[in-house]
Structure 1
Amino acid sequence: MWVMWKGRFSKPTADLVQRYGESVSYDWRLFRQDIAGSIAHARAQLKAGLLSQEEFNAIESGLKDILKDIEAGNFSWSRELEDVHMNIESELTRRIGAPGAKLHTARSRNDQVATDTRLYCRAEIDEILGKVRHLQRALVMKAKEYADAMMPGYTHLQRAQPVTMGHHLLAYVEMLDRDADRLKDCRRRLNVSPLGSGAIAGSTICLDRHGIAVELGFDAVTENSMDAIADRDYIMEILFDLAVVGAHLSRMSEDVILWCTAEFGFASLSDAHTTGSSLMPQKKNPDVAELTRGKTGRLYGNLTAVMVAVKGLPLTYNRDLQEDKEPLFDSIDTVKLALDVNAEMIAAMTVNTARAREAASDPMLLATDLADYLVRRGVPFRKAHELVGKAVAMSISTGTPLNKLSDEQFASISNAYGTDARDVFELTKAFAQRTNPGAPNSDNTRRRIAYWEGILSK
């Protein structure tokens, strides 16, 4: 087997070392980026007079043929050649001969892998952004369907104040939009070309780095060869961004899980997005939501793994950096699938509007509105808070719903209460008064739905 460093060594690499050190079992997925980078590198060699036109044509044609074979599943990956780079270069040289052996002039696997992973992350971010938008569209569609469906909002998982299902679902649209912004920002930062940085200090054979960058769609070139080789900031950044996506999906999943319990009964998932029990025939389990919640832990673990691997490394390249790829690939695969399946699940979800409105009709949810009523009658808020607290205590002690306390009972607490105090508990009126931007007023919700429909239709 041809070995790239055979001139220095007199013994072959031990089988255990090959097994321990190979990365082709997972970095093979960089083949498109590796081939694109090699063609751009070869074109720069042609412009620099290091390759003849005939040699360049052979390299370009050979690499494109290899690309077709890999995509068709007709390429055999060799563990002995360690990684995606050497597998492709070795096969190219086998097919076209001497020109293939010239391809690696003025580059190292260090700048090669840095280029490949940046190109890979860029392409995956673009795909993930599309999937984020797809889930946002599903949420907006469902929010529009249930824009006026009243339900309790919760703090500390205790009923707090009434909201609508439309308003609640739009909260996740907002979160996902921040996720998209973070990913776009990460894409901008990573879109610089390290190719030409060599192993650590560039090369005495100077190629047109800017021309290579333009061909590969980079915005600029790196300005410090050591930083270019050692940098894994962009991988940590994308892993962080994906972990935050996971956090938001996990929180949404927890809401869905609660809504689907018999105790809440606010929503129901499609049979296509639930599973049954091997023992209990009545069960309908929200496995998609539960798996999303669980897989988020993997996203956190992947981020931590790379940060720990990088934190103690001296400049520049160390083999530890090979450990960045499996966590990267796993997080990307996990988030892409999670976004797809959650979009499908939300689109098929139904809401039990009657059950949700019944829960939202609990008069305790409007206790704060009662305090606002007293404030409008000239009572300082802290005093109003105390007076409403006393009304709540009376409601509980007498077993009388808060909205059914009599004029005499309210008056016994304070003469600040008028005979119109119970009007506060008209749910529709309470919603109509929530007109500030961001509040769950129906008009606000519908305006925001229209906004998102416009954004997401582009």
Structure 2
Amino acid sequence: MNTQADATPDRRAALWSGRFADKPDEAAVQFETSIYADERLAFDDIAGSKAHAAMLGSAGIIPQAEADALVGALAAIEAELRAGTLALDPGAEDIHSFVENELTARLGDTGRKLHTGRSRNDQIALDERLYLRRAVPEFQRKLLALIGTLAGIAEAHTGTLLPGYTHLQHAQPVTLAHHLCAWAWMLVRDHGRFSDALARISLSPLGAGALAGTTLPLDREAVAAALGFAGVTPNSLDAVADRDYCVELAAGFSLVMAHLSRFCEEIILWSTEEFGFVALSEKWSTGSSIMPQKKNPDFAELIRGRTGRVYGDLLALLTMLKGLPLSYNRDLQEDKASLFDAYDTAASSVSVFAEMLKTAEWNAGRMAASCAGGYANATDVAEYLVRKGVPFRTAHAVSARLVRYAIEKKCAIEALTLAELRQHSELFAGDIFAQLESRACVEARSLAGGPAECQTRTQIRDLKAFCAARGVR
């Protein structure tokens, strides 16, 4: 097949025949084509077409021999595309037109029967759902791999002290493992959102036609079952107009990027000389064109920057849908570019972030030393008094006065003498000092979900079990 020679507007004149006297202008053809955006749907379009053709034969709408010929030719087209012996026609209006044109070139009038009882409106809705049922689980596997990476690093750092922050101010000591588990649980929620979305995608729109179905006795349920759908869409108008799944998934990708961006912001901060908590591998850093000493966390910055791009994809989809009347409108052709870009950007960002973390080196000594500053044990002072019967608000005030006193003396709370502590409350005793050590502060927080090592190891075990139950170890 000479795809370049056939790539002319005349190939598509049938779409204008009858109603229109003039053939499409070349500029019009180029403006409205979507082949470059939807070429990744080729195998999904063929899968849907094979199921549709088989149903046309079994329902007696076309002769069985012709249905078999359609299925066979479609299988051949698929094999040739996979082998690279057949190229997509850049002059085709869309992926559906390319497949149908190729089929008709091979089978003549039999090829023209494939579109019986079908519209491109329900066809594209089907293709997108088939594609997403393949692509989204692959994205989820990337999330699981990152969750597993975080759990593995956390397992090696259950005893590595790290300052916990609120408002980027020292708050309470935790561990690196606890912090990494926090990142991982955010991704677990992301994974669940995609599973929820997939359940809603699993309805076949084929048979909705342009908007009102068809008078032909299609077996929608048979096609849905053949393609592995849970059922069929309940309303033909909604079936061709619905792009909720595009928005829902773009929102999911946006949340993933929001989470990655937050992780990257912390990595960027932690890799500075001021923090020095982590050193990124040279493989995942870049230099400066003018400053020889620089080692920049550019990949983390790029992920942070590309978050806005995915947000833009989500906004484009929402804006596209705003004000659209039922049912199908050509505006909906614009869904693929935004959806695919959001998918590709989020998928590559998840993979890069995982690889970046695998080769990072963590400075446990620097993190532990940082825990000693900022009076992160002030809450432990208050809770010490609470355990002795002091109302929390009163204990909080005592601890606050101690912090001020220590600031004036330019020392840590634990550097004060017992006599100085007792000036603020006679309930302080010698056992207070052991409880103010950073590690003791962490281990005392052993409630479910807390940073104590026993609880962190439980989280790591649960995270690994979550991944293993979904086939990723």
TM-score bracket, normalised by the shorter chain, equals: over 0.9
The question of 1:383 aligning with 2:394 is answered yes
The question of 1:105 aligning with 2:108 is answered no
The question of 1:248 aligning with 2:265 is answered no
Q: Distance in 1 between matches of 2:246 and 2:298?
A: 30
Task: Say which of 357, 361, 375 aligns to 1:350.
Answer: 361
Instruction: Find the counterpart in structure 2 of residue 52 from structure 1.
Output: 63
Q: Within 5 A, what are the aligned runs for 1:72-221? A: 72-221=83-232
The ranges of structure 1 where at least 4 consecutive aligned residues each deviate by more than 4 angstroms after the TM superposition are none
Say which SS state the counterpart of residue 121 (structure 2) adopts.
helix
Q: Does structure 2 retain, via aligned residues, the 8 Å contact 1:375–1:381?
A: yes
The question of 1:441 aligning with 2:452 is answered yes
Instruction: Find the counterpart in structure 2 of residue 284 from structure 1.
Output: 295
Paired residue type of 1:435: S
Task: Say which of 14, 36, 51 aligns to 1:4.
Answer: 14
Say which SS state the counterpart of residue 54 (structure 2) adopts.
helix
Instruction: Find the counterpart in structure 2 of residue 316 from structure 1.
Output: 327
Q: How many residues align?
A: 458
Say which SS state the counterpart of residue 278 (structure 1) adopts.
coil
Q: Does structure 2 retain, via aligned residues, the 8 Å contact 1:141–1:347?
A: no
Q: Distance in 1 between matches of 2:327 and 2:258?
A: 33
Say which SS state the counterpart of residue 256 (structure 1) adopts.
helix
1:419 shift after superposition:
4.3
What 5-or-longer segments of structure 1 have no aligned partner? none
Q: Distance in 1 between matches of 2:219 and 2:59?
A: 8
Task: Say which of 392, 399, 403 aligns to 1:392.
Answer: 403
Q: Does structure 1 retain, via aligned residues, the 8 Å contact 2:286–2:296?
A: yes
Paired residue type of 1:77: L
1:70 shift after superposition:
2.2
1:414 shift after superposition:
3.3
1:104 shift after superposition:
0.4
Q: Does structure 2 retain, via aligned residues, the 8 Å contact 1:18–1:79?
A: no
Q: Which moved more, 1:272-281 or 1:102-111?
A: 272-281
1:260 shift after superposition:
0.9
Give the RMSD, CA atoms, in angstroms.
1.4
Paired residue type of 1:88: V
Paired residue type of 1:4: A
1:201 shift after superposition:
0.3
1:361 shift after superposition:
2.4
Q: Within 5 A, what are the aligned runs for 1:221-260? A: 221-260=232-271
Q: Distance in 2 between matches of 1:34 and 1:400?
A: 70
Q: Distance in 1 between matches of 2:383 and 2:138?
A: 48
Task: Say which of 450, 455, 458 aligns to 2:466.
Answer: 455
Q: Distance in 2 between matches of 1:421 and 1:435?
A: 18
1:250 shift after superposition:
1.0
Q: Distance in 2 between matches of 1:293 and 1:46?
A: 52
| Identical-residue share of aligned pairs (%) | 43
Q: Distance in 2 between matches of 1:79 and 1:443?
A: 60
1:258 shift after superposition:
1.2
Q: Distance in 1 between matches of 2:90 and 2:327?
A: 25
Q: Deviation string for 1:366-402 (max 9, x for gaps)?
A: 0000010111122111111111111111111121222
Say which SS state the counterpart of residue 159 (structure 2) adopts.
coil
Say which SS state the counterpart of residue 21 (structure 2) adopts.
coil
Say which SS state the counterpart of residue 449 (structure 2) adopts.
coil
Q: Distance in 1 between matches of 2:466 and 2:88?
A: 44
Q: Deviation string for 1:218-275 (max 9, x for gaps)?
A: 0000111000010011111111111111111111111111111111111111111111
Say which SS state the counterpart of residue 297 (structure 1) adopts.
helix
1:80 shift after superposition:
4.1
